[in-house]
């Protein structure tokens, strides 16, 4: 009986300690919805994302550190007896910087070099939370098999300044990654 009470007391004490001294991270990267369509012999992707940053990346951004967010898109052909065949991998990267003098956030599309500025971080993240008419691949590149699109968004730790990378790898505040999202590539 005494051992049972000690064990119960230890569990309660551990729970109180974790509740009081643990650091909760309430941030999320997620893909809400994605659909493809065929327009003029080109498959296009429409998708919606949620980007919620934790306190540490926001603090680093406001202190002059550029943050890079990456959207990875993998298209695979389903095969019955072998593993699926990867057809193409696409990456869209977005770099965020805080411009201290103008007190605005700059968003640079690293694939095109186009840059936009926003009055706050929320509006900058809102700008990339919707992907519309993004070209995937031409209709001629696929046959009648089933094709799947896998998507993931994440904060690219490798693009951070070298002294900050070890901290980012060890801290859950910096490991911002969505789950893989799966949607079919419609061939009809």
Determine contact, residues 165/174, Cβ cutoff 8 Å.
no
Residue 15 lies in a domain: no
pLDDT at 172 over 80: yes
Residue 12 lies in a domain: no
What are the DSSP E strand ranges found in 23-160?
A: 29-39, 42-51, 67-77, 85-99, 104-109, 115-118, 130-138, 147-155
Predicted pLDDT of residue 27: 55
Domain total in the chain: 1
How far is 6 from 127, CA to CA, in rounded Å?
55
pLDDT at 18 over 70: no
In Å, what is the CA distance from 27 to each residue of 12, 79, 137, 162, 172? 28, 36, 32, 24, 10
Predicted pLDDT of residue 76: 92
Residue 16 lies in a domain: no
Mean pLDDT over 175-180 rounds to 93
pTM above 0.85, yes or no: no
The DSSP code for 177 is B
Residue 157 lies in a domain: yes
How far is 136 from 44, CA to CA, in rounded Å?
6
Kindly report, residue by residue over 36-73, the tens digit of the pLDDT.
999 999 999 999 999 999 999 999 999 999 999 999 99
Domain hosting 77: range is 27-185
Core vs surface per residue 95-109: b (16+ CB within 10 A) or e = bbbbeeeeebbbbbe
């Amino acid at each position: 009986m005494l051992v049972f009470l000690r064990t119960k007391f230890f569990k309660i004490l551990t729970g109180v300690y974790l509740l009081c001294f643990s650091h909760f991270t309430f941030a999320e990267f997620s893909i809400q919805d994605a659909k493809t369509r065929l327009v003029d012999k080109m498959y296009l992707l429409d998708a919606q994302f949620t980007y919620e940053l934790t306190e540490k990346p926001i603090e680093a951004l406001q202190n002059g550190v550029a943050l890079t967010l990456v959207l990875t898109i993998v298209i695979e052909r389903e095969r019955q007896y072998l593993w699926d065949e990867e057809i193409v991998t696409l990456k869209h990267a977005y770099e965020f910087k805080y411009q201290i003098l103008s007190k605005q956030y700059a968003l640079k599309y690293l694939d095109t070099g186009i840059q936009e500025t926003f009055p706050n971080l929320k509006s900058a993240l809102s700008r990339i939370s919707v992907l519309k008419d993004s070209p995937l691949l031409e209709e001629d590149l696929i046959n009648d098999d089933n094709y799947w699109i896998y998507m993931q968004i994440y904060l690219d730790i490798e693009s951070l300044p070298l002294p900050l990378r070890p901290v980012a790898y060890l801290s859950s505040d910096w490991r911002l990654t969505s789950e893989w999202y799966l949607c079919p590539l419609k061939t009809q």
